Structure 1
């Protein structure tokens, strides 16, 4: 369900009048068939009247990746699509890039390497403008690397398909469009539960969100809703009863007791503030 945008207060950025929406994709979204996730992004950005900017900063193949998304968005009926590639911090300060963001109704970050996004954008005029526009109602989307950078803490790299250990994951500051969270992508397909748990264990106030491929969360009005073919895994360590984090030596396993785990497929929602899934007890979906 689409939730009306309410007034909110920004943290480190300007005071918000109203909040935009986030469409955060776990990677490998459908671009050939119905394109349901990208279609939803376009619809929220203004449908056929949308003005879409594709940010290719994460990839080292900006033309190929940018052209691909131009074709997809044009096939969905968008007439105004342009690519902005910021391959340096100077380019993130360029008047042309800033003008494109000012005019956009939707900005979409492609996949690639998430640390390129923070390296070339974080702390620039473009970064500040994106937060300002988001506070005014801009729709922000991102896939794969473009998903990871959305949260406060950003997973830069880490081992997959392994049990939780502190040294298997490296994090850095993201762009913080979604505060108090850490996001991982390609989640079930690459067996990343261990590294998400490891990332959250060091900052248990954060909500861990793992998004499968061809799956997305839509963040609006303090809630997230799941769409797509896979599921979203949410780990909550805020009320865990025990951790051996402070006694660990290198290569020793991480013990975490009393962890909350939620698995949410398409159609389910989650209240971020209360950290609770939104399930009606009389619904056919309820157990």
Structure 2
């Protein structure tokens, strides 16, 4: 089966001016069939958020838009909602609270339909909380703008759409490098990806992602950690981590998810030239 595209947004994407990220969503969506589905499960204001995104996507040339609002878990077994997901060309997770998403749809027929849609080629997009929930393990709380410490970060199972990574959003704006380092120290086999606001990664297949938008993507690779005191600490003590690999990638750069290597703008241009 062909896996679909993923666009994972760090939140606060531009909806009024250049709309670079949402235009990329529309560009890829238009290669698919079926409606663009806006999933508002994460937010406490589903009508307002659904109407806002509907207006923006209509202004970008999308006519076939459906909003699915799941506010109770039994709604994730509703046949009409599942049928919409089965027909979708794009499923767009809005921001809000990622725990709401996983607690409402995790393990339900709706979730199974969502995962099948992705495996069959559907475009899955998540912004803010909708970004964090796509990984197998998600950060749900933690101290912003502080040194990494044990037990100051809370993690929970995510939707497991993209594997082998943990995603944090609003990254530079909220000073979240410490909590991403803490997450990777506790799970060094998982790649940490921090995405700034109005910035996104576009994942095509499983081999690599490319960066779009105005900010940067921070990649934390814990595979080469030579020492950490994470297992020795009591609560709230500062972590020691040595030899962690850190990459900062702005627009035009890519990253090999299998090779665990950054790809510069020049290398991306050379690869495109060779493919043509």
Quote the residue 1:250 is aligned against. Answer: 235
State the 4+ residue runs in structure 1 displaced beyond 3 angstroms: 47-50, 280-285
1:168 maps onto 2:152 in alignment:
yes
Question: Is residue 194 of structure 2 the alignment partner of residue 210 of structure 1?
Answer: yes
Contact 1:56 1:83 in 2 (8 A): yes
TM-score normalised per structure 2? 0.94
The 1-side partners of 2:266 and 2:16 are apart by 37
Runs of 5+ in structure 2 lacking a partner? Answer: 271-276
Residue pair 2:254, 2:268 contacting (<8 A) in 1 also: no
Corresponding residue number in structure 2 for 1:3: none
Residue aligning to 2:244: 259
Contact 1:47 1:78 in 2 (8 A): no
Q: 2:41 is matched with which residue? A: 57
Shift of 1:48: 9.9
Query: Offset of 1:252 from its aligned partner?
Result: 1.2
CA deviation map 1:24-56 (0-9, x unaligned): 000000000121101101111116976200000
Tell me the SS of whatever aligns to 2:55.
helix
Structure 1 SS opposite 2:259:
coil
For residues 243-275 of structure 1, give each alpha carbon's deviation from its aligned partner in whole angstroms, at most 9, with x where no partner exists. 011111122110000000000000100010111
* Contact persistence 1:45–1:105 (CA under 8 A): yes
Q: Residue deviations 1:68-93, cap 9 Å, x none?
A: 00000000010011100011111011
1:196-224 per-residue CA deviation (whole Å, 9 max, x = no partner) reads: 11111111100000000000000112211
- The count of corresponding residues between Structure 1 and Structure 2 is 269
Structure 1 segments unaligned to the other structure (5+ residues): 1-16
Pair 284,95 (structure 1): closer, same or farther in 2 beyond 3 Å: closer
- Distance (Å, rounded) in 1 between the aligned partners of 2:197 and 2:210: 15
Contact map agreement 2:252 2:265 (CA 8 A) in 1: no
**What is the RMSD computed on CA atoms of the aligned residues?**
1.7
Secondary structure of 1:127's match? helix
Three-state SS of the structure 2 residue aligned to 1:41 is helix
- What displacement does 1:96 show? 1.1
The change in CA–CA distance for 1:87 and 1:162 in structure 2 (over 3 A counts) is same
